[in-house]
Structure 1
């Protein structure tokens, strides 16, 4: 997979290193030429190609071979830049998948397909969700949003009183626009099947649309 990462801060370089170790072709686009020269001199991260260019300018961004990219990740520290980069990646280079970092949670509403964003990641919102997930039992906690909020990955921890406890997935009658993607039990991940029986204490990961979310809550938690 060919991945172009715009932004060489700590987030961008960490992602690049991880993806390169996994065997992907990774290109980092960074506007600071001195930063690029230093990285190339040190050869870090290993296996990553660096391009000194302004990803907000079409002609410069093109030098990174964005038209051949499978994924573009806009992870600069500036939300406006990330939006512009996402829009260019989608509209000018027809990149199949664009992932964007949201720095200010108040700007998250803009990170939609209108700006070319397929998936947005808001670190503050994710941290909030993880804190809630750690302390919330018997409620649905949203972890991630996809496709501009049209799909959500949420987590529910079942209690002994939950109506779904003791039932298998096939008999639950979850809405058509939802699916259980994983069950975490005793620190082990269970790949769900129709005959998987839910238990009190299970952490159930559900992919759902906003319209189906209330029905999912009623079915799993009451």
Structure 2
């Protein structure tokens, strides 16, 4: 897979190293000569150019890229880069970095962004995930599917503690992805009971998050206690 990353700062370089380590081809683009440091990521291609300019993206051969990641520290630049990548070069997938949470609403398909990554939101979600029991914590939003990756630490008084996961009547279009228990990752087994303190990771449409929360943790959220 060929990936272009706009923004060769610490964030862009870190993403590049990870992708190269996984066997992908990476092109780093930055308009600041001081950011062009091939020795930091020697296996990447480097291009001194402004990713907001069409001619620069033509030079980068963006039409050959499978993914474009707009990872600069400027939200305006990330939006323009994503829009050009999607509309002018037909890049299949774009990822936009959100630096300021007030701008997150702009990072949508209308601006050519398939997936937005908001560092403040992720950090907030990780804090919530670490300290909350019985509450759904939204970790990630899938733009294309209109669904969210959510986490809940199952409270001790959940009506489903001790019951096989296959017998939990999850709402329609809700899917249990994995269970985290004692530092281990478990693939959901329909015959295996869930336990108090299990961290359930689920993919669920936003409109049924409340229903799911009430079902799994009725004491905290006023749902039905019948399992």
| TM-score, scaled relative to structure 2 | 0.91
Unpaired stretches in structure 2, ≥5 consecutive residues: 219-227
Equivalent residue in structure 2 for 1:84, among 74, 80, 83: 80
Alpha-carbon shift at residue 69 of structure 1 (Å): 0.9
Once the two structures are superposed, residues 163-202 of structure 1 have per-residue CA deviations (whole angstroms, 9 ceiling, x without a partner) of 2212222221212221111100110000113323211010
Equivalent residue in structure 1 for 2:41, among 45, 52, 61: 45
Alpha-carbon shift at residue 95 of structure 1 (Å): 1.1
- Give runs of aligned pairs for residues 140-159 of structure 1, distance below 5 A: 140-147=136-143, 150-159=146-155
Tell me what 1:54 maps to. 50
Q: Output the CA distance in 2 between the equivalents of 1:208 and 1:122.
A: 20
Alpha-carbon shift at residue 149 of structure 1 (Å): 8.5
| TM-score, scaled relative to structure 1 | 0.93
Unpaired stretches in structure 1, ≥5 consecutive residues: none
Partner-residue secondary structure (3-state), 1:92: helix
- Give runs of aligned pairs for residues 94-109 of structure 1, distance below 5 A: 94-109=90-105
Q: Output the CA distance in 2 between the equivalents of 1:156 and 1:218.
A: 12
Alpha-carbon shift at residue 81 of structure 1 (Å): 0.7
- Give runs of aligned pairs for residues 167-186 of structure 1, distance below 5 A: 167-186=163-182
Tell me what 1:10 maps to. 10
Query: Over aligned residues, Cα RMSD in angstroms?
Result: 1.4
Q: Output the CA distance in 2 between the equivalents of 1:67 and 1:196.
A: 47
Contact 1:20 1:46 in 2 (8 A): no
Tell me what 1:28 maps to. 28
The answer on 1:73 being equivalent to 2:66 is no
Once the two structures are superposed, residues 102-142 of structure 1 have per-residue CA deviations (whole angstroms, 9 ceiling, x without a partner) of 00001101111111111111111111111111110111111
Question: Which portions of structure 1, spanning 4 or more consecutive aligned residues, are displaced by more than 3 angstroms?
Answer: none
